[in-house]
Amino acid sequence: MHTLPEGKPVLEVTSLADEVYVLRWKYRHQVEVYDVINYRLQRRLTVPNIRDVTDMTSCEHYRCVYIGDGDVQCIHRLDVQGAVTQWAVNDTPRGLSVNAAHNVLVTCHYVHRIKEFSSHGDLLRELTLPIGVIYPRHAIQTRNGEFIVSHGVGDDVVHRVCKISADGRHIIKSHGGWQGSDIGQYKVPIHLAVDNNEFVFVADEGNRRVTLLSPTLDYIRQVVSPDDLKWLPDRLCLDIHRRRLYVADRAWGRGHDGRVVVFSV
């Protein structure tokens, strides 16, 4: 286990090539870029006019980082040289991921949809999720076109992770149910990561843990426990090649507390 420097709250974390991108709550130089060998700070990048960060992901193919902005309802596109552009989502973007076609999947929780965009913001399609998926938080597309989707926040009765058909219409399998702290329960499954064998990592924010599920969404084990964290596991990023899991460990309501914890998985 390794820890990147503590500081301003860590809102997001992702990896790209041989670097780790950490987005902190600041007006300037929000994105800190570290090397993956010694975790030394390489540079800081500024995303102008960013307001309400909701998620961040990266694309190796286009060598860029995408950042969701809930206030402006847009995606900020940051390339490795620091150039920033943006494009509209026309809904609040909650979770972001990149699929095998190198397109951006935007989970829009208020309208229960997944929107698929090209790298430069062309809307390619929209999927409406099943009625039982209330306030979806994050979605990742598997190689066969199905989706792994987490949902459940606050006082929602059901908190779970679902496998959904490629057309977005049907729940194939789910893990979770009534919110709680037992092995088969969640309290806000806020973020996901999926490896190249389609095992699923789930950041269970309210229970302060990260759970590993099989490709069929059966429970395997807990990979991060409350003892490994100081605060709450708010975001995940999996470096598939190096088998490292980056966890944004974030304090809510404490002003200036946040870090990234690195686990070998």
pLDDT in tens, 238-256: 999 999 999 999 887 555 5
> Which residues fall within 8 angstroms of residue 81, CB to CB, at 6 or more apart?
none
Element (H, E) at 44: strand 41-45
> What pLDDT, on a 0 to 100 scale, did the predictor assign at position 154?
86
Cα 128 from chain centroid? 20
pLDDT band, residue 155 (cuts 50/70/90)? confident
Look at residue 70 and tell me whether its pLDDT is greater than 90. yes
Look at residue 63 and tell me whether its pLDDT is greater than 60. yes
pLDDT band, residue 5 (cuts 50/70/90)? confident
> What pLDDT, on a 0 to 100 scale, did the predictor assign at position 253?
58
**Which residue carries 């914890």 as its tokens?**
261
Look at residue 136 and tell me whether its pLDDT is greater than 80. yes
Look at residue 55 and tell me whether its pLDDT is greater than 90. yes
Number of H helices, E strands in the chain: 0, 24
- Distance (Å, rounded) from C-alpha 34 to C-alpha 234? 19
Look up residue 96 and give its amino acid.
L
When pLDDT is averaged across residues 139-161 and rounded to a whole number, the result is: 95
Task: Give me the residue spans of the domains in the chain.
Answer: 2-264
What percent of the chain is modeled with pLDDT above 70? Answer: 98
Per-residue pLDDT tens for 220-235? 999 999 999 999 999 9
Hey, what are 120's tokens?
């430069």
Per-residue pLDDT tens for 97-121? 999 999 999 999 999 999 999 999 9
Per-residue pLDDT tens for 165-224? 999 999 999 999 999 999 999 999 999 999 999 999 999 999 999 999 999 999 999 999
**Average pLDDT, whole number, for the chain?**
95
Residue 259: count other Cβ atoms within 10 Å of its Cβ: 21
Q: In what order do the strands lie in the sheet with 219-224?
A: 189-194, 200-204, 209-213, 219-224
Q: What are phi and psi of 251, to 5 degrees?
A: -95, 125
> What pLDDT, on a 0 to 100 scale, did the predictor assign at position 95?
98
> Model-level pTM?
0.96
State the DSSP string of 95-113. Answer: EEEE-TTSPEEEEETTTTE
- Distance (Å, rounded) from C-alpha 127 to C-alpha 24? 31
Looking at CATH, the fold of the domain delimited by 2-264 is given as Neuraminidase (2.120.10)
Which residue, 241, 259, 197, is CA-closest to 16? 241
